Structure 1
Amino acid sequence: MSRKLRMGMIGGGKDAFIGAVHRMSAIMDGEIELVCGAFSSDAEKSRISGSSLYLPNDRVYGSFEEMILAEKKLPEHIRMDFVSIVTPNHMHFAPARMAMENGFHVVLDKPVTFTLAEAIQLQEVIKKTGMLFCLTHTYTGYPMIKEARQIIAAGKLGKIRKIQVEYPQGWLTEFREGSNYKQAAWRTDPKRSGISGCMGDIGTHAFNMAEYVSGLKVTALCAELNIVVPGRQLDDDGAVLLRFEQGATGFLYATQVAAGEENNLKIRIYGELGGLEWYQEDANSLRLKWLHEPTQVLRAGNPYLSSYARFGTRTPAGHPEGYLEAFANLYRNFALTLRTKLEGGNPEKEWLDFPGITEGIRGMAFIENVVRSSQSDQKWTPFEV
């Protein structure tokens, strides 16, 4: 198949932050091109957005339903191959289901759906249709996070004992949803965001990171959620004690009211033989701390790294890569896997390393279990899916 994969987009119109991130990341490696979109539920806003992206008028649609049905009618050599969905949480399930039921593969921004029940339904749709599905848990795309996962999987730290992950932000320290600030308004609105604010937005990233890197699943938790800023409807702060498989324990905290913080995501994991530490503000470095040896610092772009980390790096060592490149790694892996699927081949193991519906379901279960735990007087809540 000597062409780029054709992508449609739902949501992500003009001035939408995450839509622009998806578009830049999708095209970074030359595997994908944007060919159509329904960029807003407002048809005129969608038209303006499509025009600003230089799309032809007849490939810019006023709703996702219109787009999916119209694209399905186009000849195979013209219509989109997959759709990227970048809408608020309450508008994830319906377009994803409709797209797959009409023969289109899906990339979906996290969290996967509005509720756990919807996520489980979506899993059935994926099984029934056989469509390829990617969930953009961005931070698993960082090369040194992939290296950390490989180090632990190889047993180099010994049996894992402690997992700590934190994600502090400060952008909601003030009541910004009352000032026509779109990003704050929908994320703190239970009708659009769901039953959790901060934990649903960034706590799910921290949770996904902990399970992805450690290779261990959470089995029980004890959570406390807070609404710090007066007038806010959903949590803007929270902390969770965690129990994992194989006896490991951990701690997760996420907050959006840490004044002065930007996106200071960190993870630390300790085993019998040593520990590792990574934080997003120095994303090209991974620190290994050994019981009886000096600390090591591994750096992205070097030949001593695993094939997963090397494949996720585009520049020589010392040339910084960051958030957009991590995002692009998910799109590239999805695109290479989809291309191989369409050609009837077998994808490389590195290409298959992107989040899917399993991670989506566990993320939604995390949200619902955390909220249930926070509202309960019981100290520990079993992690139920």
Structure 2
Amino acid sequence: MENRKIRMGMIGGGSDAFIGAIHCRAALMENQIELVCGCFSINPDISISSGRSYFIPDNRIYLTWQEMIEKESQLPKEQRIDFVTIVTPNKFHCEPALAALDAGFNVVIDKPMTYSLEEALQLREKVKETGLTLALTHVYSAYPAVKEMKKRIANGVIGKVRRLFVEYSQGWLTKRIELKGGNNAVWRNDPKAAGKGGCVGDIGTHAWHLAEYVTGAKVTEVCAELRHIADGRPLDDDAVAFMHFDQGFPGLLQVTQVATGEANNIRLRVYGETAGMEWRQMEPNILYMKWLDRPTEEVRVGNRYVYLSDFTKWNTRTPGGHPEGFIEAFANIYQNFALTIRAKANGEAPTEEMLDFPTVEDGVRGMQFIETMVRAGHNNDEKWQKWVEK
């Protein structure tokens, strides 16, 4: 690949979207990527106005994603996009991703990866067939403190893991705001757009992914309860699960979107033989080390702290005391993805640091998590459900 920025096209993410602007800001942060085209909304007027707000020329603002992929693939190599980022409701993830891969474009997708497990398996096969790269934006695994947590557990700092707790609490769906329309609660509570899981798919997948990412262990079975606390809501808005992991330890997962007054409260605790660790998303630059025989230690993240692993420093931009948060975590995924596709295009092997982003395999496991949780939550006769690998 010549010495240039990597060209991105966006599907979804217009001015009426929930997360599109975050993706765009994050993608551009490290000066590796430029936004050159997009179909930003199913509403043509919004797509056009959104594209113009990014100073994209009218001939590269598309009215359908099909038109975008077709016309971009016909452009000369030195002009067309290198990858597509898909930030649409779950129902509209798989088809444009498959088309993009067929056209030779790499792909970034917001989580969960697809509408159903069947679609996820289909997408995995397409990635294998094309040899292209797919990144999934499980953003919380990209915080530097979470990466430090992962490395310390892998290096045996806390000994063998004995117990894990992960929770993700929100309160924005305490009332049935989806009935008012005009907000992002509408499609998230519509099984035809979101899929089988509500809260479980929207934030439960983040909690599950954090648990597997930091420990390196895989969930093997769950015992779950899914609830519809807001009267009449068709999808779950609250869930709890006991989990067994392949390394022999148990875990407890709690997720809810009806915790009145909560904003985005994520808390991850892992306990080993010699120490425990805790990370909270609301104060993301601190990792707590909990010792048996001395006071709790605050491990602070910053790019000048010599005690951090090189793996953590790779994903850290600022000196200590200057918090890195949500957008920077997204940027870590986009940076590592961009460096990976650049290395592959140049016939080079991506480094371990470059390859540190969620992939299509995480996407398949995320859909298996939703399926397993829903099956366990709705099966009164056999609450423990085995994780079925496919």
SS where residue 17 of structure 1 aligns? Answer: coil
Q: For the Cα contact (< 8 Å) 1:307–1:350, is it kept in 2?
A: no
SS where residue 107 of structure 1 aligns? Answer: strand
**1:233 is matched by which residue type in structure 2?**
P
SS where residue 23 of structure 2 aligns? Answer: helix
Kindly indicate whether residue 136 of structure 2 is the aligned counterpart of residue 143 of structure 1.
no
Q: Which residue of 2 aligns with 1:303?
A: 306
1:157 offset after TM fit, Å?
1.0
Q: Which residue of 2 aligns with 1:337?
A: 340
**1:379 is matched by which residue type in structure 2?**
K
Task: Select 1:383's aligned residue among 380, 384, 387.
Answer: 387
CA distance in 1 between counterparts of 2:247 and 2:56 reads: 52
CA distance in 1 between counterparts of 2:20 and 2:383 reads: 40
Q: Which residue of 2 aligns with 1:49?
A: 50
Kindly indicate whether residue 342 of structure 2 is the aligned counterpart of residue 328 of structure 1.
no
1:2 offset after TM fit, Å?
1.6
CA distance in 2 between counterparts of 1:202 and 1:64 reads: 27
1:232 offset after TM fit, Å?
1.2
Equivalenced residues, count: 385
CA distance in 2 between counterparts of 1:323 and 1:246 reads: 30
Over the matched positions of the two proteins, sequence identity in percent amounts to 52
Q: Which residue of 2 aligns with 1:207?
A: 208
Q: Within 5 Å, which residues of 2 pair with 1:134-173?
A: 134-173=135-174
**1:177 is matched by which residue type in structure 2?**
E
**2:356 is matched by which residue type in structure 1?**
D
Q: For the Cα contact (< 8 Å) 2:377–2:383, is it kept in 1?
A: no
1:15 offset after TM fit, Å?
2.7
Q: Which residue of 2 aligns with 1:188?
A: 189
Q: For the Cα contact (< 8 Å) 2:223–2:242, is it kept in 1?
A: yes
* Comparing 300-309 and 196-205, the one that deviates more: 300-309
SS where residue 332 of structure 1 aligns? Answer: helix
1:30 offset after TM fit, Å?
0.5
Kindly indicate whether residue 262 of structure 2 is the aligned counterpart of residue 261 of structure 1.
yes
Q: For the Cα contact (< 8 Å) 1:267–1:278, is it kept in 2?
A: yes
CA distance in 2 between counterparts of 1:183 and 1:236 reads: 14
**2:370 is matched by which residue type in structure 1?**
I
Q: Which residue of 2 aligns with 1:129?
A: 130
**2:49 is matched by which residue type in structure 1?**
I
Q: Within 5 Å, which residues of 2 pair with 1:1-385?
A: 1-301=2-302, 302-377=305-380, 378-385=382-389
Q: For the Cα contact (< 8 Å) 1:303–1:310, is it kept in 2?
A: no
CA distance in 1 between counterparts of 2:365 and 2:356 reads: 17
**1:231 is matched by which residue type in structure 2?**
G
**1:155 is matched by which residue type in structure 2?**
G
**1:365 is matched by which residue type in structure 2?**
Q
1:309 offset after TM fit, Å?
0.9
SS where residue 247 of structure 1 aligns? Answer: coil
Q: For the Cα contact (< 8 Å) 2:109–2:135, is it kept in 1?
A: yes
CA distance in 2 between counterparts of 1:382 and 1:345 reads: 40
CA distance in 2 between counterparts of 1:93 and 1:17 reads: 19
RMSD across aligned positions (CA): 0.9
Structure 2, unpaired ranges of 5+? none
SS where residue 242 of structure 2 aligns? Answer: strand
Q: For the Cα contact (< 8 Å) 2:196–2:374, is it kept in 1?
A: yes
CA distance in 2 between counterparts of 1:169 and 1:308 reads: 30
**2:123 is matched by which residue type in structure 1?**
L
**2:277 is matched by which residue type in structure 1?**
L
CA distance in 2 between counterparts of 1:309 and 1:174 reads: 39
**2:117 is matched by which residue type in structure 1?**
L
1:86 offset after TM fit, Å?
0.3
CA distance in 1 between counterparts of 2:314 and 2:268 reads: 22
